[in-house]
Amino acid sequence: MKKRIRIIIARLGMDAHWRGSIMVARALRDSGMEVIYLGNQLPENIVEAAIQEDADVVGLSTLSGNHMMLAPEVVKRLKEKGAEEKIVIVGGAIPPDDIPKLKSEGIGEVFGPGTPFDQIINYIAASC
């Protein structure tokens, strides 16, 4: 039997936009994944939670423009802790020019506003 996918959902830094992250968390939960919702967190806390919770995926939400600094920091800290196998995804208002840069820094996928939940769920399921 395949193990249930565990995913951490966190808002990067002090991003106050919570609605999208809650909606995605519920859709993932409703699809059968185990979701650990952290709310606002800095990279070090996200990485510690991902390791402690044995998460398969780390989902980061941002609308405040901090994605180019904080999302790669999560990937870097996961590698430093020997947890580079965890998939990191980002959702939010990400300028299209930033997406290749984020992927080159180790982000698995970037989901913009309006992405169908099935697309996110299918990406995670195929990646785990």
pLDDT digits (tens, 9 = 90+) for 106-118: 999 999 999 999 9
> pLDDT value at position 82?
97
Tokens coding 71 = 């999302």
Reply yes or no on whether the pLDDT at 1 is more than 50.
Answer: no
pTM of the model: 0.94
In terms of Cα–Cα distance, which of 107, 127, 121, 104 is closest to 33? 121
**pLDDT bracket for residue 2 (50, 70, 90):** low
> pLDDT value at position 19?
84
Report CA 18 to chain centroid distance, whole Å: 14
